[in-house]
Structure 1
Amino acid sequence: MKLLFSLSLLLMTSLRGCLAQTPPAEAPANPPLTPAPYSAPVYRATLHHFEARRQRLAARYKRATTPAARAARLAEARTLFLTALDSTIFPAWEGTAWEFYGQTWEPRQGSIACGYFVTTTLHHAGLRLQRTLLAKQTSETIIKNLCTETHIHRYRGLSRTDFVQQVRQQGPGLYVVGLDFHVAFLRVREGGAVQMVHSTYLDPGTVVREAAEGSEALVSNYRVLGKISADDALLRNWLLGRALVARGATVKAE
């Protein structure tokens, strides 16, 4: 166990829409960084470590007796949720092949469609959702199942540059963006850098993390943006291990 824990810390430090739609023609690539090293046993051990931390934090949340104390625990939950995705889950999935019908559960094995990438990574982070059912929905339906309307914004006709600026103005956090032919994560960092994390049908045809300003996959006439890291209801469900009930599904899971 000590060896796995040490390897986990080393990995952490070193380290869809799509199925219902037809992708547009390929566009010039925005070369991503080389994927980080990946080890399946270390990945699983690290997810287990994060799950144990989530459970301990959930117990502390339940023991909190004041609104201020519960708010403090929820702030810790937000940090833990984002850390699991940023340090372990997103890096592990980089380089996994995109495929229109791809639905692998395992990073860098098989292939994964954009909607499945969103739902699978959130599932690996500990969010109890109907992974297959949601992955087959339109990108807007996926977002509406993750966020309340308070945290959802819609845009039409903006250039890619103007849209990224709009996202940046909403502040640091994790977003899911729904596009005409795609669904992806946007990660806004302190300082304003905006990354797009997604399984892309464009070159290189894999899961990538890249600068949003240069991502041709972000070109779209209509965009739906949900700031999932700001939604306390979602974070509370994640923290307490509550299952999300799928709403508005128009395509049934097999």
Structure 2
Amino acid sequence: MSSGTGCRADAEPAAAAAGAAASPAPAAEFAATLAAVAAERARLAARYARAGDEATRAAVRAEARTYFRTTVVREVFPAWLGMPWGLGKNSTADRPHAPGMTVACGYFVAAVLENAGLALSSRYKYAQAPALQVQKALAPAAADLHRYFSVPGETLAAEIAGLGDGLYIIGLANHIGFVVVDGGDVRLVHASYTGARVVTDEPLVSAQAIADSRPKGYFVTPVMHDDRLADLWLRGAAVPL
């Protein structure tokens, strides 16, 4: 697989009007979301530090995993939708709809993780690293790396649905994004270089980026499903790349 941060450099830059048409939430509203995430992480972290036995710690980690995934899907993703995709020095946004900024696919993934309270050793290094390197950093267990060869979107969606409801990262040819599985519904959320060239939430089965990557295949890994990542989130420790 190629680097996940290129986001198809052969594509044209996103049109500024595309982001304007998305009616983004005010910056103050997203700042409140970030504050709420920080407060909840601190609350759970305090419980985790006070836990006197492994059973209690395990319960807090499970609560943290659920909170993280729910926050990404219900709070962070919607705020980013419509943000213009782009490449170059202005494509490194860490907040949605920042004036004069666009976001490349790798920077979108890194920003979303940090927006939901997960500290990264370096947002820039995560954003620029090959997709597979990012995925192995977040889910290092060999059993968590799911490799799909040259299959059509319908087959890929069915295979990912079979992994169960949750949040995943998908590594494509020169692209990276998130996959959300909910009751058999499989959606790709990414800074898209296709279509309107904005941050997009679309059915995975019909996404052009999926079709583009078919010759090289796909890597899929879960996000925040294991004790290791939950522990790092709770302690505010950075995830090494």
| Shorter-chain TM-score tier | 0.7 to 0.9
How far 1:24 moved relative to its partner?
A: 7.2
- Give the corresponding residue for 1:106: 95
TM-score, length of structure 2 as denominator length? 0.86
* 2:34 paired with 1:47: yes
- Contact kept, 8 Å, 2:7 with 2:193, in 1: the verdict is no
How far 1:76 moved relative to its partner?
A: 0.6
Alignment of structure 1 residues 82-231 onto 2, 5 Å: 82-101=69-88, 102-109=91-98, 110-129=101-120, 130-148=122-140, 149-189=142-182, 191-219=183-211, 220=213, 221-231=216-226
Aligned residue pairs, count: 222
* 2:49 paired with 1:62: yes
Q: Which amino acid aligns with 1:44?
A: A
Q: Which amino acid aligns with 1:87?
A: R
- Contact kept, 8 Å, 1:195 with 1:210, in 2: the verdict is yes
How far 1:67 moved relative to its partner?
A: 2.2
TM-score, length of structure 1 as denominator length? 0.82
Give CA deviations for 1:63-88 in whole Å, capped at 9, x if unaligned: 22222211111111011111221222
- Contact kept, 8 Å, 1:140 with 1:178, in 2: the verdict is yes
- Contact kept, 8 Å, 1:36 with 1:92, in 2: the verdict is no
Query: Which residues of structure 2 form unaligned runs of 5+?
Result: 13-20
SS in structure 2 of the partner of residue 95 of structure 1 = coil
RMSD: 1.9
CA distance in structure 2 between the partners assigned to 1:196 and 1:231 by the alignment: 22
- Contact kept, 8 Å, 1:24 with 1:181, in 2: the verdict is no
Give CA deviations for 1:89-119 in whole Å, capped at 9, x if unaligned: 1111101000022111221121000000000
Aligned CA distance change for structure 1 residues 121 and 66 (closer, same or farther; 3 Å): same
Give CA deviations for 1:24-77 in whole Å, capped at 9, x if unaligned: 79xxxxxxxx85650110110121012111111111112222222111111110
- Contact kept, 8 Å, 1:177 with 1:185, in 2: the verdict is yes
Structure 1 window deviating more from structure 2 (101-110 vs 176-185): it is 101-110
Aligned CA distance change for structure 1 residues 174 and 23 (closer, same or farther; 3 Å): farther
% identity of equivalent residues: 35
CA distance in structure 2 between the partners assigned to 1:37 and 1:93 by the alignment: 8
- Contact kept, 8 Å, 1:115 with 1:183, in 2: the verdict is yes
Query: Which residues of structure 1 form unaligned runs of 5+?
Result: 1-15, 26-33, 247-254
Q: Which amino acid aligns with 1:143?
A: Q
- Give the corresponding residue for 2:5: 18
